[in-house]
Structure formats: C-alpha cells, structure tokens
C-alpha cells in the first residue's frame, strides 16, 4: 500500500503569538521538519527582516512572502510557521489551506503586543502606536479566523499550546472518522 504522506501543519497568528517557539516544539514532538517563512526570506535575500524593510520597503517583503508560498507547495509533512502578515491578503488563507491544516495561534492583544515588543526586530511595530498596532491586529483577524483550527494561547506556555494543538488535531481526526 502506498504510504500516506502526512499533511503540513501551518501556524498563523499575529506577531508575538509564539509561532516560532510553538512550531519548533510541535515539530520536535511529531518528529517533523520545521520551517519558517521569515527564515526562507532572509536566506534568499541574504539579510535580516528589518534590513529588508529598510532597504527595499514593505512591498518588496510582501512579494518575497508570495514567493515563499510557491516554494512551500513542494513540502509535505512539515510544520510551517508563517510571518504574522502573510495571511493578510485576499486569497492567502485559501493558498495556505491548500498546503495543509492551518492553525491560528490566537491570544489576548495586550499579551501578544508585549511579547512582540520584548523580542524586538519587528519593523511593523516601529513608528506605530499601541492603538495602531491593535488596529493592524484586528484588521488581520478575519483572515486568521479562516484557519481550520484555532487555539487561544493566552496564559499558556509553548508546551501547553503544543498539547492543545495535538488535542485539537486528534479531536478533528476522530470527528472525521
Ligand atoms: C510581520 C511579522 C513578522 C515578519 C515581518 C512582518 C507582520 O513575523 O514576518 O516583520 O507584518 O506582522 P512574526 O509574526 O513572526 O513576528
């Protein structure tokens, strides 16, 4: 019998949602490869995300995100963490859902904001007030909401989020039987 190729698990969510740390842990738990769209872009461009924004502007970065979607079509069974803005265009969530199961790491805006600020190196935070960043977050929610599954990460450690994701995936599989 031909082996069933496991589908990709794709994490979406706003900056500070923990997509990288949760994705890395989830991949380790499942024995899968972990990829990040931001890493794919920095490897291709040969410079950091803040440098890409500073040298070439946001439009260039968004075009690079589009390109990563084409490359991701070659992947099977990976855990993929996306940049917070990648799903925020018409058609992008459909493209992501065509790659596998999309999981939204949702959370209280205040907590996401604090975490994103602490980690630094986020050009989308530079020069924006907290209210402006919150408006950006709200404007993306209709896209994130199109995910197959969502997990509220508020107050949870990355390990706990991974357990919630595994539980939600198991429940979904059970329901599909
Ligand atoms: C962005 C989020 C970042 C990175 C870039 C733009 C955004 O990724 O892709 O700085 O527009 O929200 P994280 O969500 O991992 O911070």
Average pLDDT over residues 113-124: 93
Strand partners, 36: 81
Tell me how far the alpha carbon of residue 115 lies from the centroid of ligand 1, in angstroms: 13
Q: How much of the chain exceeds pLDDT 70, in percent?
A: 97
Tell me how far the alpha carbon of residue 76 lies from the centroid of ligand 1, in angstroms: 23
Over residues 153-170, the pLDDT tens digits come to 999 999 999 999 999 999
Over residues 71-89, the pLDDT tens digits come to 999 999 999 999 999 999 9
Average pLDDT over residues 26-48: 97
pTM, 2 dp = 0.96
- Fold for the domain defined by 8-171: Rossmann fold (3.40.50)
Pocket, ligand 1, Cβ cutoff 6 A: 15, 19, 38, 49, 83-85, 122-124
Nearest alpha carbon, ligand 1 atom 7: 85
Q: What is the predicted pLDDT for the residue at 8?
A: 97
Q: What is the predicted pLDDT for the residue at 4?
A: 56
Which helix (H) or strand (E) is 150 found in, with range?
A: strand 149-152
| Phi then psi dihedrals of residue 35, to 5 deg | -130, 150
Q: What is the predicted pLDDT for the residue at 129?
A: 97
Q: What is the predicted pLDDT for the residue at 24?
A: 98
State the pLDDT confidence band at 2, using cuts at 50, 70 and 90: very low
Average pLDDT over residues 112-133: 94
State the pLDDT confidence band at 5, using cuts at 50, 70 and 90: low
Residue-averaged pLDDT of the chain: 95
What residues have CB less than 8 Å from 33, skipping those under 6 apart? 27, 77, 78, 79
CA–CA gap between residue 73 and residue 70 (Å, rounded): 6
């Amino acid at each position: 019998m031909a082996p069933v190729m496991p589908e990709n698990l794709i994490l979406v969510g706003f900056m500070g949602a923990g997509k990288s740390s949760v994705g890395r842990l989830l991949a380790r738990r499942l024995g899968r490869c972990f990829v990040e769209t931001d890493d794919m872009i920095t490897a291709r461009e040969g410079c950091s995300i803040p440098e890409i924004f500073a040298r070439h502007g946001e439009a260039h970065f968004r075009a690079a995100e589009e390109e990563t979607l084409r490359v991701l079509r070659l992947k099977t069974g990976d855990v993929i963490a996306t940049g917070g803005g990648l799903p925020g265009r018409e058609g992008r969530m459909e493209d992501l859902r065509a790659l596998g199961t999309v999981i939204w790491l949702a959370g209280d805006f205040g907590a996401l904001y604090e975490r994103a600020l602490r980690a630094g190196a986020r050009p989308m935070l530079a020069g924006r007030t907290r209210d402006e960043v919150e408006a950006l977050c709200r404007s993306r929610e209709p896209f994130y909401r199109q995910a197959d599954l969502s997990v509220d990460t508020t107050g949870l450690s990355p390990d706990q989020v991974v357990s919630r994701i595994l539980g939600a995936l198991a429940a979904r599989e059970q329901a599909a039987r």
